[in-house]
Amino acid sequence: MANLADVLEARFGVRTEARASAVGFNVDIARTSVLRNDPARLAAVIVNLSAVAVFLAPDPLVSATHGIRLAANGGSLILTWDTDFDVTAWEWFGVADADNADVYTLEVIAR
């Protein structure tokens, strides 16, 4: 019996690795890098764990009026290569309505 890693490699031709992102655990009122640019990223999930709104954008101009709003207490953004194309691998920035907004990030990387 094959394990999941073997099945994914047979179907898509690539080995993958899931990892919590090295950055992006706190988003502040000043622009914060949430996901670094990574051409090997196949998918990412970003979840707002804080009690305030967080705004994300794939460019440094992110603000409350320029970005994707993640609602407090569980708002999320899911990026996948087959629906979001190149933007999945871009650097993503965030700002929050208050400092130290907790954000959880998980990435799937081709290795």
Query: What are the domain boundaries of the chain?
Result: 16-110
Q: What percent of the chain has pLDDT over 90?
A: 78
Architecture in CATH of 16-110: Sandwich (2.60)
Residue 23: is its pLDDT beyond 70? no
Coil vs helix vs strand at 22 = coil
**Residue 109 confidence (pLDDT):** 94
Buried b (16+ CB within 10 A) or exposed e, 39-69: eebbbbbbbbbbebbbbbbbeeebeeeebee
Coil vs helix vs strand at 86 = helix
pLDDT tens for each residue of 47-88: 999 999 999 999 999 999 999 999 999 999 999 999 999 999
Residue for token digits 């992102």?
21
**Residue 68 confidence (pLDDT):** 98
Q: What percent of the chain has pLDDT over 70?
A: 95
